Structure 1
């Protein structure tokens, strides 16, 4: 951790991303290839996830699923994603996060191809299960890669990587709007094949010959502090899932927006998130993580207030766009902080031990992602059963808890 002078001469604390012991921050063509490979994985993960969610109505009609059954399938997929996150941690400990990410890409590739070509419900469910495990594996491993690259370069990179995920989601949303009626065999399955090809990308490997056994257990990990950072991630995913899952329904039920146009709630939110994340790396360097997080929480609450109080669909869309600007930076800063905390706990351990420990912590930390997603989808719906205005009022209040929690992102 390091003290920095913020605007107006005020001192702020932020996480200092350190290069491996015995090295300075490094760069070069090889590291650029690693960064491009990781960005491609983030982009494809976002593209495939949004592609699958935008095809839910088509899936429901194709297999004759009632809403309750579809909800159970989605719940099972989230649970399996949690298992996939643990799988990524296990593979990263025994090999490295590059191997874990390649494995995850293979799983989501086979899962998406299988789901797109499934002749019946049983095959579709099996493919969805494979995709769910792969989803969690890629989620954890790509963030491990992002953290490893941050530490290798000695500066914040994750906001940019998460921007690639958002760009993939935007591309998938636009594709769904343009080709929403195309059968899944043509609109989904080919992109699963792309995931299989991406397994060969040059991800950042762990240095050979360095001891990694017992890397996590050789030191005491400050789990209490990581829990506070994890709560910030939960709150973000509550807000994010509420916007992406219930935003279209909000416009449709309250303002009568046509079913074919409800994606207008999601698209401005994603575009604004993309812009916030693209600016995130430089913003962290200039202002520090703690002030950014507090500003993000306040802006997110104000944006949700616009959504809750909106009298027209256009005003609600403005609220969703502001929400993207506010909330977009929270998740990448949370993963950066978790990686920095885990790295600092080990002192001057060699790079192999440090990366193994950080990878293990990130795999567990990633579970907060799914906790927040479940809360966001379930609680917003339950509280908003009579009116989704009440449903969005819940994250409006809860997101303000990030203001005091932000202190966990710095050294007291």
Structure 2
């Protein structure tokens, strides 16, 4: 096992990578809007763009996760960093919607950094501190979004293409840093033979679905992830339509989301796990998320969104807790495949949820700003969280061995 200090290297890589991704979040919907003529058309095409990215993720994420189990985490991460750089440049240079698809395809094929980083963290962690390692990776992810969206909003106010060039530069710097500094975490002795069946994304999902020991957790994770994917896709357009927010205002709101996530996952996660345990913490976090989604949809003033973000602290701890529970039931030499499969669930959500969310948002986009029906996408997210609560409670009730005590 590698030294625990090696986790610091991967945290920096994740931070730089997410900083680049965060830069484009407030401006990509606006860029799509430059090639469309109405709000509903903008919503639908942005959903299609997001779904295209998710489709490529779905097809390539299990492959890259399984490949990292065979050849190591480091080369796969370097491939991801180089591909994301090409993605940002292709998006910045796109003269029309068709060319935007090229960037989305390249980005989806390359976006393996998060799942491989999670596998890297698992490699160098003991079972006892694995949840905290996942929390630190999540905190690095959140820290990237603390700086990224705000900087992207400010740069986008100057020139809508500028954030994409900056993101490309950061990805290039991340590649250089990873090539020169980051060591390999997976020892050759624990690498399984390469199996072509693991390259099929449906194979990994079917294999995950057949694991009856964690099926309830997988269902819970899927519902929570799908709700998050719908929020990610519709947030910028929703706040623009309802509150008239600019890219800079959306960037600041996402800054608050990243800051809250980082505080919880880097500073409070250990305390919360000691207080409630991973099982109770995951359920409480999902409940908090359900209430927050409902409140987002009913908010009538922009400032209310900030208040909801700050009050929704437990939801940011639910993900690492669920991820740790699933990881603990998986052998060490299958962690990369597991994380790739979990990310495939996210990718499948990014295929379906943007299409569904953008379709719903397009239907209500012409309503008056004060009409409560504009929050329809968030109401659906709240319903998915409620279903996740039911699935989690049922799983823990039938698997008493999974219940941990403070």
Task: Name the TM-score, length of structure 2 as normaliser.
Answer: 0.78
Verify the 8 A CA contact 1:170 1:271 in the aligned structure 2.
Answer: yes
| RMSD of Structure 2 on Structure 1 (CA) | 3.3
Deviations 1:214-271 (A, max 9, x none): 8999xx9862343322222222223323433333433343344456534454333332
- Partner Cα distance (1:249, 1:125) in 2: 19
Bigger fraction of residues in helix: 2
The residue that corresponds to 1:35 in the other structure is 7
The residue that corresponds to 1:79 in the other structure is 55
Q: Which runs of 5+ in 2 are unaligned?
A: 199-206, 365-372
Deviations 1:12-43 (A, max 9, x none): xxxxxxxxxxxxxx78xx431x2112112221
- Partner Cα distance (1:327, 1:155) in 2: 19
- Partner Cα distance (1:43, 1:253) in 2: 30
Corresponding residue SS for 1:328: helix
Among 160, 174, 177, which residue is 2:150 paired with?
A: 174
1:160-199 alignment runs, 5 A limit? 160-180=136-156, 181-182=158-159, 183-184=161-162, 186-199=165-178
Change (3 A) 1:114 1:159: same
- Partner Cα distance (2:262, 2:306) in 1: 16
The residue that corresponds to 1:149 in the other structure is 124
Deviation at 1:161, TM superposition (A): 0.9
Corresponding residue SS for 1:366: helix
Corresponding residue SS for 1:206: coil
Report which stretch shifted further, 389-398 or 311-320.
311-320
Change (3 A) 1:98 1:337: farther
The residue that corresponds to 1:388 in the other structure is 374
Higher relative contact order (CA 8 A, sep 6+): 2
Change (3 A) 1:61 1:31: same
Q: How many residues align?
A: 369
Among 65, 74, 83, which residue is 1:107 paired with?
A: 83
- Partner Cα distance (1:257, 1:360) in 2: 40
Report which stretch shifted further, 40-49 or 169-178.
40-49
1:55-70 alignment runs, 5 A limit? 55-57=27-29, 59-60=31-32, 67=42, 68-70=44-46
Change (3 A) 1:397 1:114: closer
Among 334, 337, 340, which residue is 2:322 paired with?
A: 334
Verify the 8 A CA contact 2:54 2:347 in the aligned structure 1.
Answer: yes
Verify the 8 A CA contact 1:112 1:191 in the aligned structure 2.
Answer: no
Change (3 A) 1:155 1:282: farther
Report which stretch shifted further, 229-238 or 242-251.
242-251
Report which stretch shifted further, 185-194 or 119-128.
119-128
Verify the 8 A CA contact 2:282 2:319 in the aligned structure 1.
Answer: no
Deviation at 1:375, TM superposition (A): 4.7
Q: Which runs of 5+ in 1 are unaligned?
A: 1-25, 344-353
The residue that corresponds to 2:286 in the other structure is 297
Among 187, 198, 202, which residue is 1:207 paired with?
A: 187
- Partner Cα distance (1:401, 1:257) in 2: 31
Change (3 A) 1:375 1:317: farther
Corresponding residue SS for 1:306: helix
- Partner Cα distance (1:186, 1:211) in 2: 37
Task: Name the TM-score, length of structure 1 as normaliser.
Answer: 0.77
The residue that corresponds to 1:371 in the other structure is 348
